[in-house]
Amino acid sequence: MCGRYTQTSDARTLAGRFRLAKLGVDVPARYNISPGQPAPVVLIEGGRRLALHRWGLVPGWAEDPRVGYKMINARADSAPRKPAFREPFQRRRCLVPADGFYEWRRAGKGKVPIRFTLAGGGLFSFAGLWDEWRSPEGEVLRSFTILTTEANAVVAPVHDRMPVILREDGESAWLDSDAKTHELEALLVPYEPSGMRAREASARLNSGREDHPGLLEPEAPLQPELGL
């Protein structure tokens, strides 16, 4: 499961990291990206380009776009065969730029948000799928989902699933239109736990309306690093 994440780099930084042919859109720093909101994805359209798609995949055949709120994630082990994800898996794969994601750890009667990042910080990408939906009036909606896999040793004490974080050398393979299904599935594995870190974040993340740098820090004194 991945229900909130961060992407705080600007478009030019994204362009350098993901070798974009063109920017396409401007991208503000985001500290609490939530389902149903627009977020940047990298896809192949005349070269690599950056686009804003809505989080929560709406299949092209859907009758109601609200179905996207149930499709913010797709299980890596079943996505190639599920009706909603089968065609996007074969034809419409994307990278979802991020620099952290959140899960909630139980603490007494409440829950504490935990932010997971790479050990050295910085940008990475989730494995994503996208699709295009048209309303009866001709409105076009492009949306995406994030693939998930079993949790590694860093995430497992908090949640049994985690988003698929692609290794940088696997991003081109994920976007390759000629890649075979078995080659793609080989990329969809848990990230090495030694390469990740977990820290508490602000309880104000519980509101999707909150989106500012203060969310990265807990209200209580910060633990240097969680021994999860």
Is 211 contained in some domain?
yes
Distance CA 117, CA 159 (A): 15
Q: Is the backbone of residue 184 left (phi > 0), alpha (psi -120 to 50) or beta?
A: alpha
Give the contacts of 37 (CB within 8 A, at least 6 positions apart): 54, 55, 208
Distance CA 59, CA 66 (A): 11
Task: Answer whether 79's CB lies under 8 Å from 66's CB.
Answer: no
- Concerning whether 103 is annotated as a catalytic residue, the answer is yes
For residue 21, the model assigns a pLDDT of 81
Quote the radius of gyration of the chain (alpha carbons, Å). Answer: 17
pLDDT in tens, 164-197: 999 999 999 999 999 999 999 999 999 999 999 9
**Tokens 């940088």 map to which residue?**
168
pLDDT in tens, 50-99: 999 999 999 999 999 999 999 999 999 999 999 999 999 999 999 999 99
Is 221 contained in some domain?
no
Is 9 contained in some domain?
yes
- Concerning whether 2 is annotated as a catalytic residue, the answer is yes
Distance CA 115, CA 205 (A): 11
Is 228 contained in some domain?
no
* CATH number of residue 152's parent domain: 3.90.1680.10
Is 143 contained in some domain?
yes
pLDDT in tens, 1-41: 789 999 999 988 999 999 998 777 889 999 999 999 999 99
For residue 226, the model assigns a pLDDT of 52
Q: Following CA atoms 70, 72, 76, 79 in sequence, which dihedral angle do they give, to the nearest 10 degrees?
A: 50
State how far the alpha carbon of 69 is from the alpha carbons of 3, 37, 40, 141, 144, in Å.
10, 10, 17, 14, 11
Count how many domains the chain has: 1
Is 157 contained in some domain?
yes
For residue 161, the model assigns a pLDDT of 97
Catalytic residue among 2, 94, 171, 200: 2
* H or E element, residue 58: none
Percent above pLDDT 90 for the chain:
83
Is 158 contained in some domain?
yes
Determine the structural domain holding residue 86 and report its residue range: 4-216
Please report which residue ranges of 5-153 form alpha helices under DSSP H: 11-17, 86-91
Is 224 contained in some domain?
no
pLDDT confidence tier of residue 222, bands split at 50, 70 and 90: very low
Distance CA 201, CA 50 (A): 28
Catalytic residue among 94, 103, 171, 200: 103
Counting every residue, how long is the chain? 228
- Tokens standing for 18? 């993901």
Distance CA 129, CA 41 (A): 9
Return phi, psi of residue 85, to 5°: -115, -10
Give this prediction's pTM: 0.94
